[in-house]
Amino acid sequence: MRVPNWPVFLIAMLAIALLPLIFRNGYALHIMILALIYAVFAQAWNLVTGFGGMKTFGHHVFFGMGAYGSALLSMHAGLSPWITIWIAALLTSVAGVLIALPVLRIRSVPHIAIITLAFAEIVRIIVSNLRGITRGELGLIGIPGFDPLNLPGIGLVRFTPAYKLGYFYLAWLVFAVVTAGILAARNSAHGMRVIAMRDGQDAAESLGVNIAAYKIALFFISAFIVGLIGAFYAHYIIVLTPSSVLGVDIMVLVIAMALVGGIGTVTGPILGAALLVISVELMRDLGQYRMLVYGGLIVLSVLYFPNGLASLADRVRQWRRAPNPILQEQDNRS
């Protein structure tokens, strides 16, 4: 376990915040916003799977519930999106607890994956068939964007499709807070108990770790984060369909991000999100064949980088510390 290097974290967050000064066009901003959204999503999934050891394949249900929940509340209840995103996040966190309850009794990885994936598929089918409310695959349109903010010292910040800078910094703020929270929690006493639970439930339970409480807490926190970023996604994209936020391909993409970047690490999902979001845009013309590329990346990462791209820095350090065999042989001769 490593102590969080807060100066490095602050420098990295500042560097990301300055990216719009380098890439000024709207398309580049859109790619960066998507990268931040998926980085938050991948980190929340990694919280349950990478740190908690529960292999869930249905986390996209929280993303879709947050998106549709906030969109429908803002459209039909007349509430501001600044309020509905928090209501939607709380509702998805309750759903996360409901999913966690049957998972408490199961330790088989395939069964946990099937249960969570089945729940997500049930929700997708329900949303697709509620055409009177969600319009199904025709798409939910007319979703309001965020209201402008008048910030002291900055002025009026707008959130429109033509002015994406406000969306970027809002996504950056969520990303920075989530990353800082995970960094702080990883080396806390609670973080140590979660990792102990992942590495050996029986051993952790014998030492007094409340396995059930920590599993429920992980699902609650993770579902809240995914629901919140899903709600943000709805008010950013403006149009929703069940396949765009509840399709299994989203979950495959997030899993690929975590595996390629490094599951069970903090920086891994961030690196994987940045790499794969850019790759997705470059392979946009391939359509559904992109899934083959995701699968290939997962296979290659498991074979050659089992700990993900985040482990490259450790490999470089080990290589530098390793003794040079040529110099060592010369020393032996002398």
Q: What is the pLDDT of residue 325?
A: 52
* pLDDT in the model for residue 223: 96
What average pLDDT does the segment 105-125 reach?
A: 86
Q: Residue ranges per domain, the chain? A: 6-247
- Give yes or no for residue 108 having a pLDDT over 50: yes
Structure confidence by residue, pLDDT tens digits, 169-214: 999 999 999 999 999 998 888 989 999 988 888 888 888 889 989 9
Spatial separation of the C-alpha atoms in residues 112 and 93, rounded to whole Å? 18
Rounded to the nearest angstrom, the gap between the alpha carbon of residue 91 and the centroid of all alpha carbons in its chain is 18
- Pair type for strands 155-157 and 149-151: antiparallel
The structure tokens 């051993």 sit at: 203
| Cα 301 to Cα 258: distance, rounded to the nearest angstrom | 10
pLDDT for position 329: 55
Predicted confidence at residue 309, as pLDDT, reads 78
Residue spans of beta strands (DSSP E) within 154-286 = 155-157
Q: What is the spatial distance between Cα 92 and Cα 95, in angstroms, rounded to a whole number?
A: 5
pLDDT, residue 32, reads 93
Residue 1 has pLDDT above 60, yes or no: no
Q: Tell me the C-alpha distance between 128 and 244, whole Å.
A: 11
pLDDT of residue 150: 85
Helix (H, G, I), strand (E, B) or coil at 160: strand
Asked if 59 and 257 count as a contact pair (C-beta separation under 8 A), the reply is no
pLDDT at residue 317 above 70?
no
Burial of 120 (0-12, 13-18, 19+ CB in 10 A): buried
| Mean pLDDT lowest among 20-34, 172-186, 230-244, 307-321 | 307-321
C-beta of residue 264 within 8 angstroms of C-beta of residue 51: yes
Give Cα 40 distance to the centre of its chain: 4
Q: What are the φ and ψ backbone dihedral angles of 151, each rounded to 5 degrees?
A: -95, 135
* Chain position carrying tokens 């009794």: 105
- pLDDT of the residue at 312: 74
C-alpha 254: how far from its chain's center?
7
User: What backbone torsions phi and psi does residue 163 show, to the nearest 5 degrees?
Assistant: -125, 90
Each residue's pLDDT tens digit, 269-305: 999 999 888 887 777 777 667 767 767 777 877 787 7
In this predicted structure, what is the pLDDT of residue 14? 94
Tell me, what's the pLDDT at 327?
46
Mean per-residue pLDDT over the chain, rounded: 86
Phi, psi of 107, rounded to the nearest 5 degrees: -115, -5
**147-158 mean pLDDT:** 84
The pLDDT, as a whole number, for residue 281 is 77
Structure confidence at residue 323 (pLDDT): 60
| Per-position DSSP letters for 44-94, written without gaps between them | HHHIIIIIT----S-THHHHHHHHHHHHHHHHHS---HHHHHHHHHHHHHH
Neighbours of 247 (CB within 10 A): 17
Q: Which two tokens stand for residue 332?
A: 């032996």
Eight-state DSSP code of residue 145: -
Q: In this structure, which amino acid lies at residue 300?
A: L
Residue-level pLDDT at 322: 57
* Mean pLDDT in residue range 114-136: 91
Can you give the pTM of this predicted structure?
0.89
173, two tokens: 């703020």
Q: Whole-angstrom Cα distance, residue 304 to residue 322?
A: 20
CA angle 90, 96, 99 (to 5 degrees): 150
Strand residue runs (E) in 176-267: none
**pLDDT > 70? residue 80:** yes
Q: pLDDT tens-digit profile of 46-75?
A: 999 999 988 889 999 999 999 999 999 999
**β-bridge mates for residue 162, sequence order:** none
Looking at residue 215, its amino acid is: K
pLDDT-derived band at 320, boundaries 50, 70, 90: low
